[in-house]
Structure 1
Amino acid sequence: MTKRKFIQLNRKWHRYLGAVLGIQFLLWTLGGLYFSWTNIDEIRGDNLKQSKPSLSISDDFVSPSTFLNTGFTSEDNVQSLELTTILTNPIYRVVLKTTDGVKVKLYNAKTGKQRLPLTEDEAVQIAKEGLKISANLTNVEYLTETGKHHEYRGRPLPAYAITFAKPANTTIYVSPEHGNIQTFRSNKWRVFDFFWMLHTMDYEGRDDFNNLLLRAFAFFGLFTIFSGFSLFIITSKTIQKSFFRKK
């Protein structure tokens, strides 16, 4: 291949790839600007979270063996056991891995009796207590399933989606089985999640960095960069003169 044909072919590939990749590079840049200019604590909703009161060590709690020896089968494997509170009442939260999947059981820490999952009223009260600022309640939804693009994806179900108006503009997700707030989702988080999807190019689940599309764009991006370098070197009179003088 002659030098002239090589330059023409390189320019053609560089031009078309640059046009296609340029759109994605622009999206990556816009996402990077948003990521770097926003406070991650505000995106996570940490600025809206009320600190949880600590348990008093002077309280008389029953031993976990009270219910561990009677309420489980040999096939149940305890993944975690946590002493916490539900609406100021001390409870044990036991996460189990069973043949049917992961299950959660709640026990009264003072009596050892199993506690039922949260009611809607209790979930709303927990959400209100977990919100640091004052805001009106606008909607309560009971979720039994979520899609890959749902803002509550990948978290325990069922769950109550409890939405508050301004100045919070936030949906708090409460798990009735875990008896706690799972996450906060504000408008800032939703914008972040949208740009994150564009950044990872995972348009199915958002979090897969190993998807084929991202790999292809990364490869063609390198090809475009190297083709630009080669065009600059081949067409630069200064470089050509310096090279031939050394020869």
Structure 2
Amino acid sequence: MISSAGTRKIHNSLNLVVGIQILIWLITGCYMVLMDINFIRGQHLIAPTQTAVIAADTVKVQPADIQSRLGPISSLRLLAHPSGPAYLVNHNERSLLISAVDGRTLPDTLNRDQAIEAALARFNGAGELITAALLETPPDEVSWITPPVWQVSFTGVGEPRLYLNAQTGELISKRHNYWQVFDLFWMLHIMDYDTRENIHNPLLQIAASLALISALSGIVLLWVSRRRRPL
């Protein structure tokens, strides 16, 4: 049977090992609980989604016209492009933008003015435009996006940023500095320093088990000390 001194030694040793991580859990947990998740996700930055209205009389080219020109296509979608209505066509494992007005093939990438126009149409914040940059390597906060991507930044709380599809101008993601803090704290909280997704990683399981043992040993010590206290 482990003595009181042995229990105290185990308790103190475990506190040295997991004490800092327990403090990190408390700090990061408080931040994540206190912050509104919709704010973190940037919902306040985006105007309510409205279906783009494309006037029927502006669509001069029909899908059949495109298919007869290109041959078999995987998919086709009509969308509101900054240069006018256009079809996004998947053909031979490649995405093409074809004007629905005159049938010409549009550039694969929006220019800066078009990207800004598309961003302003979606932005709902109070800030003003700072920069618009076409990125060939997305930053870590949107590393999952296939480049190139337009990053349009604004002034305001948290320095909001919109990320747009470089070909169509459609919104892919929105980020701000409070999201970056949340993402960092989430990584520290779940102790997944690689993908920041795996809440069942061995490091977290070991730390949680040691913290539990430390807490239980503290309870045992408290119970023993109370029993020894004279009445």
**TM class, shorter-chain normalised?**
0.7 to 0.9
Structure-1 separation of matches of 2:186 and 2:11:
27
Structure-1 separation of matches of 2:32 and 2:180:
12
Structure 1 residue aligned with 2:134, among 142, 167, 182? 142
Deviations 1:134-174 (A, max 9, x none): 43222233221246xx1112122111222111257211112
Contact 1:140 1:160 in 2 (8 A): yes
Contact 2:134 2:166 in 1 (8 A): no
Paired position in structure 2 for 1:215: 205
Deviations 1:109-158 (A, max 9, x none): 455554322122211221122111343222233221246xx111212211
Structure-2 separation of matches of 1:128 and 1:143:
18
Contact 1:55 1:90 in 2 (8 A): no
Structure-1 separation of matches of 2:149 and 2:70:
24
Residues 130 and 56 (structure 1), Cα distance of their counterparts in 2 relative to 1, 3 Å cut:
closer
Structure-2 separation of matches of 1:181 and 1:124:
12
Deviations 1:56-95 (A, max 9, x none): 476265554544565477xx865xx544322383334456
- Percent of aligned positions that are identical: 28
**Cα RMSD (Å) of the superposition?**
3.2
Moved more, 84-93 or 127-136: 84-93
Contact 1:48 1:168 in 2 (8 A): no
Does residue 37 of structure 1 match 2:34?
A: yes
Structure-2 separation of matches of 1:125 and 1:57:
17
Q: Any stretches of 5+ residues in structure 1 without a counterpart?
A: 239-247
Structure-1 separation of matches of 2:105 and 2:200:
43
Residues 57 and 32 (structure 1), Cα distance of their counterparts in 2 relative to 1, 3 Å cut:
same
Structure 2 residue aligned with 1:84, among 63, 79, 88? 79
Q: Residue type of the partner of 1:13?
A: I
Task: Determine helix, strand or coil for the equivalent of 2:192.
Answer: coil
Structure-2 separation of matches of 1:65 and 1:236:
86
Does residue 48 of structure 1 match 2:45?
A: yes
Paired position in structure 2 for 1:132: 124
Does residue 170 of structure 1 match 2:165?
A: no
Paired position in structure 1 for 2:214: 224
Identify which of structures 1 and 2 has the higher relative contact order when contacts are C-alpha pairs closer than 8 Å and 6+ apart: 2
Structure 1 residue aligned with 2:23, among 9, 26, 34? 26
Paired position in structure 1 for 2:5: 8
Residues 168 and 25 (structure 1), Cα distance of their counterparts in 2 relative to 1, 3 Å cut:
closer
Cα distance, 1:190 vs structure 2: 1.6
Task: Determine helix, strand or coil for the equivalent of 1:115.
Answer: coil
Q: Residue type of the partner of 1:91?
A: A
Q: Any stretches of 5+ residues in structure 2 without a counterpart?
A: none
Task: Determine helix, strand or coil for the equivalent of 1:151.
Answer: helix
Contact 1:84 1:90 in 2 (8 A): yes
What is the TM-score with the length of structure 2 in the denominator?
A: 0.78
Q: 1:91-106 maps to which residues of 2 (within 5 A)?
A: 91-94=86-89, 98=93, 104-106=95-97
